[in-house]
Amino acid sequence: MNTRLSRLVPLGCDGRRELRWLLWGLAAGFLVNLRFVPVYLSARSGLYVYSRGVRQLVPGAVIAPFSELLGWSLLGCFAAAAAMAVLAAWHYLTHFRGSRSIYTMRRLPDRWELPRRCLALPALGAAAYLLEAAALWGLDFLLYAAATPAQCLPGVWGF
């Protein structure tokens, strides 16, 4: 295992495996966010009517506010970020299993060794998930603002 990565996880834990799980969490957050696309396309199609095979914009039609269309699309990212608290607790509790390495960790000259091994990877994961949520929110809003006709946007763009 990479020595840098092994310093971020408790002794006996596989850092690569945990990193893979964090990456799966990022993918899951993205997949949950894909829910926004069909919801938005459905709302946008409600702005139009078909008359003799020609699509026409309904006069005075306004699309639903962005926050309403977004709904729970970012829930995957926020749930994964919240799960990092559980991972941090699990990292701490692993020091009490087996040979009880907690006693050794407390005697080390570097007093930050235990917090680093318990909190580094969960903090990195939480930051990555929140950054992903911000990026997905921005992409969703960009789609909302760019693909909706300007006259159909609600006041202050749906905030």
Q: Which amino acid is residue 38, in one-letter code?
A: P
Q: Model's pTM, two decimal places?
A: 0.87
Closest to 9 (Cα-Cα) out of 77, 75, 72, 90: 90
| Residue 43 · residue 69 · CB < 8 Å | yes
Q: Which residue has the tokens 């006259």?
A: 151
**Any residues with CB less than 8 A from the CB of 102 and at least 6 apart, and which?**
95, 96, 114
For 55, 73, 74, 116, 140, the CA distances from 23, given in Å and listed in that order, are: 42, 18, 16, 20, 21
Per-residue tens of pLDDT for the chain, all 159 residues: 567 777 888 877 888 999 999 999 999 999 999 999 999 999 999 999 998 889 999 999 999 999 999 999 999 999 999 999 999 999 988 888 776 676 677 777 777 888 888 899 999 999 999 999 999 999 999 999 999 999 999 876 555
- Binning the chain into helix, strand and coil, the percentages to the nearest 5 are 65, 5, 30
